Structure 1
């Protein structure tokens, strides 16, 4: 037995049911070196990328004082008192235009949302609060000076840091950088992640099933998850259950990929070739996690590439991807840590669980007749029931040492929104 296999065996002897999830995450993170190579990309190409450096605003946002309402720009001192005030309308300004003059005492201009404030004007009267007859309006005060005005630099000051290095870029981040006029930004290079399924029983979609065959759903699940994460996903197809095919695939992936993710072939028993091949060509760190669904999970290195050998059952693939693999890849991408988004809710039904493993049951989070949040399972929790994930909107997270849960007790949930 190699040293890596002995280490793996020792680790599993210490944790007969597998490593606790938090320990597995910590061990993986400790062995990862985040990417450092940078590249500049156009703003529209930056979605799901990770910022390689802080981003600062080159201009104030907004660039000028402007109206927050459709109405009339006035001098605040003219409308500060109680009672009615009559003002003369001396012009009009739309968004994108400017007023050339300067407001004098008793004057105002018609102004639209986003239009620059005129010189001398510091307050906006909403159009609903003004009675207009011809070129004059009457307003009833008082109206605080500065009302309904967006100040220059109110959102971002010139030179202010907009986003920090390590920030993943989503729609809001793209928008705020565009508001500062940025064209290109510096991001870390994409991770290249190879993946394949193992199993002679697997058939491609669109092909007729033979005796004992099933369609390969795991590659589609993983491809979608990788696309959402923002890595370069390289689909290597289905690899047969024999050592020669696996060895060829492992060598090919280790030559170009930062990470290799497989599904199937890591369970103890049958043709356990994935773990054996990894042990022969690379290093095995651990191969069991105290996680349900998803206990058989091989983690190690294959040359310069990280290796994640996920289980073959479809729900186990999803659980191990989101709870183990995805956090590791985010760290490798150079992204800031994402805190677990758990929150407590009432459990509407009893849940079966035994201590000694962390469980992620598929749940439906909803609001009961009293307007309080509660959660119930999607039904049967078998690791082959992939439809349970599509019906669910959260994981019900049951801690390592917890036992069964009675209806009415509080449990923690992890919403899918923002995770998947």
Structure 2
């Protein structure tokens, strides 16, 4: 049995966040299994192979406007005519999208619609707003159109292959599939895409004080009891990242119960994720339970909120332990678990991006740890600070739309530029 350190023993230095993240990503060996899913259902999945186009897009020169396909030289010749026929061309055919037109007859125009193929011989499209229709001018039952000026060659024509060339890699292995990329895949005829299989994650909370909403009415809560909020946002975050989640519920604050939960979860999951019990109190059993079954590689990070953080292995499964305080759990998930899971999926989009934004607040309480402050953009383009930055105030994460990444020992004056990480960068 490991004895607690004496009060006089020096505490080990907390690991900087960047070092912890580097180590964590090193442990996240990408999953090798893949599966094929409908392009309709692949949003948010990670591509397992390059997608190569078997055709060019668009497949042929086509019109980007409703109007008239013409030969520029014919328009110039027509404009030199005198009298009512000046600038007029006979409308020789009508070409809708999905139809193929005939070669363009000399001194004529083809009525054409957006997406329709450009007829052979035409070298420009004149939009209909710049034309004047002359009914019957081309003879009985026909019409003509007056073009007011000579168009530029290539005007309003989308060239074949200008979007995608045949043989081009349109989406790279490791890309996170988005609605736009699914549309691109469909545009080259792909109805099924190869993706990494979903990570299997076992989720549980520890704490005898935890109660599930719906099990006990607010007015019947015992002293010291709290509703389990972490379980709800952690499950939602895991699902957003494309995980298959097994919810193991609330584990009692007992070493034997914690060991049993870890043993069960390790059998058929890639990752075991817990919240609570990762500190060093007498009722915190995660550390000894993990060490009895496997190993701990990371323990406590120099960030605020979120110092109590653990990574290790339980048999063949990864283990990550998050703090019990809701904001600490939320922030450490975004900063550490999210990139870990992206790496596990073989994604090339692991790191989140920060931008420089002016602080419209002051922060005089510099901390020795790297801080992540809950903020919200205001109408003036700056950042407002949530008044209460406690790790237990989950309303700060709802009110805010991102985090200020504040270095250790750093105060912030009104107007300073700070590093802002929008939640939109972290929640998908």
- Report the TM-score, using the length of structure 1 for normalisation: 0.92
Q: Secondary structure at the match of 2:162?
A: coil
- Contact conserved, 2:358 with 2:416, CA < 8 A, in 1? yes
1:352 Cα deviation from its structure 2 partner: 3.6
1:105 Cα deviation from its structure 2 partner: 2.0
> CA, structure 1 residues 31+13, in 2 after alignment: closer, same or farther (shift >3 Å)?
farther
1:344 aligned to 2:351?
no
Give 1:95's aligned residue: 97
- Contact conserved, 1:254 with 1:302, CA < 8 A, in 2? yes
- Any unmatched runs of 5+ in structure 2? 81-85, 136-142
- For residues 253-402 of structure 1, the aligned pairs below 5 Å read 253-368=265-380, 373-400=381-408, 402=409
Q: Which has the larger displacement, 211-220 or 251-260?
A: 211-220
- For residues 81-160 of structure 1, the aligned pairs below 5 Å read 85-99=87-101, 101-134=102-135, 135-160=143-168
Q: Secondary structure at the match of 2:265?
A: helix
Aligned length: 406
1:418 Cα deviation from its structure 2 partner: 3.5
Structure 1 runs of 4+ aligned residues shifted over 6 Å read none
- Any unmatched runs of 5+ in structure 1? none
- Contact conserved, 1:354 with 1:404, CA < 8 A, in 2? yes
Residues 375-417 of structure 1: per-residue CA shift (max 9 Å, x gap): 01122111111111111111111123x4211111111100111
Give 1:194's aligned residue: 202
Give 2:138's aligned residue: none
Aligned counterparts of 2:329 and 2:349: Cα–Cα separation in 1: 22
- Contact conserved, 2:52 with 2:167, CA < 8 A, in 1? yes
Residues 252-298 of structure 1: per-residue CA shift (max 9 Å, x gap): 11111100110001122241101111111111112200111101111
Give 2:412's aligned residue: 405
1:65 aligned to 2:77?
no
Which of 416, 423, 427 aligns to 1:416? It is 423
- Contact conserved, 2:376 with 2:402, CA < 8 A, in 1? yes
Aligned counterparts of 2:305 and 2:331: Cα–Cα separation in 1: 6
Residues 308-340 of structure 1: per-residue CA shift (max 9 Å, x gap): 100001111110000011101110111114333
1:190 Cα deviation from its structure 2 partner: 1.2
Task: Give the alignment's Cα RMSD to 1 decimal.
Answer: 1.9
Give 1:22's aligned residue: 18
- Contact conserved, 1:76 with 1:146, CA < 8 A, in 2? no
Residues 61-80 of structure 1: per-residue CA shift (max 9 Å, x gap): 11111110111111132235
1:150 Cα deviation from its structure 2 partner: 0.8
Larger Rg over CA atoms: 2
> CA, structure 1 residues 80+227, in 2 after alignment: closer, same or farther (shift >3 Å)?
farther
Aligned counterparts of 2:144 and 2:349: Cα–Cα separation in 1: 58
Give 1:174's aligned residue: 182
Give 1:211's aligned residue: 223
1:85 Cα deviation from its structure 2 partner: 2.0
1:34 aligned to 2:30?
yes
Aligned counterparts of 2:191 and 2:412: Cα–Cα separation in 1: 53
Aligned counterparts of 1:234 and 1:217: Cα–Cα separation in 2: 17
Q: Which has the larger displacement, 88-97 or 314-323?
A: 88-97
Give 1:79's aligned residue: 75
Which of 44, 48, 52 aligns to 1:48? It is 44
> CA, structure 1 residues 85+309, in 2 after alignment: closer, same or farther (shift >3 Å)?
same
Aligned counterparts of 2:48 and 2:248: Cα–Cα separation in 1: 30
Q: Secondary structure at the match of 1:361?
A: strand
